[in-house]
Amino acid sequence: MQRRSLLALPIALPAVFAAPPKTPPLAEKINVFGHSWAVIQAADWMVDGQILHLKTARPQQADPRRPIQFALAETEPIGNFSIEVDVKPPGPKNSLILVYAWQKDGYFNYVHLSDDAAGKVEVHNGIFHCYGGDRVRISPTAGPGTLVGSDWHNVKVRYDAGKGLVECWVNGQTSASLKGIDLSLGAGRIGLGSFFNTASFRNFKLTR
């Protein structure tokens, strides 16, 4: 009788040992607001005059847990700036993000805006930090939801890399949940997008 070596048999590894999915590269470009923006796929976006629409959501379902669907402005790293932009969610129970201090894939911070109060959903409506792994909240949870209703909302973001401080206002209002400090990244690039939803942006202005 022939004996088959167990070493020759294929071994199925449990899913827990599978390699995490790679982030799709920002391989394509769109042009709007006087800037070129790097995106995963240009067909996911639509430029309508001076309005930018994110038409396709790309949620990152598996580890690491962080957003990937955003347009990244092709600028040099910026350490001190203010952004003003009008944003519009597609409807209730939706959210969007503004990326800042982007260094490379998986290393960036972002402002998450939602109609959920952070006290009820702690991974919504606040400032978040990504450093090679899952996103981590770096702002308090005190404050109301911000994107209430599906109308246009005026958003202002101010960042000071020397202090690591970011502050955000929605329709002229801010709260503790929209202020955070991170000194690990410093100057970086900025972006517009969403974690799980579609969104629209207009009247974008960057001041350095």
Per-residue confidence (pLDDT) for residue 83, from 0 to 100 = 98
Per-residue confidence (pLDDT) for residue 123, from 0 to 100 = 95
Note whether residue 8 is domain-resident: no
Note whether residue 100 is domain-resident: yes
Note whether residue 80 is domain-resident: yes
pLDDT (average), residues 4-17: 47
- Rounded to whole angstroms, how far apart are CA atoms 22 and 134? 14
Per-residue confidence (pLDDT) for residue 19, from 0 to 100 = 58
Per-residue confidence (pLDDT) for residue 61, from 0 to 100 = 66
Nearest Cα residue to 81 out of 108, 109, 102, 100? 100
Note whether residue 96 is domain-resident: yes
Name the percent of the chain lying above pLDDT 90. 84
**Are the C-beta atoms of residues 191 and 85 closer than 8 Å to each other?**
no
pLDDT (average), residues 28-49: 98
Using 50, 70 and 90 to split pLDDT, how confident is the model at 18? low
pLDDT (average), residues 43-65: 92
Structural domain including 118 reads 29-207
Per-residue confidence (pLDDT) for residue 25, from 0 to 100 = 96
pLDDT in tens, 74-104: 999 999 999 999 999 998 889 999 999 999 9
Per-residue confidence (pLDDT) for residue 60, from 0 to 100 = 78
What is the reported pTM?
Answer: 0.90
CATH number, position 54: 2.60.120.560
Number of domains in the chain: 1
Q: Which among 22-26, 90-94, 197-201 has the top mean pLDDT?
A: 197-201
Please give the full DSSP string across 137-156, using - where no structure is assigned. Answer: E-S-S-S--S--SSS-EEEE
**pLDDT over 80 at 10, yes or no:** no
Note whether residue 138 is domain-resident: yes
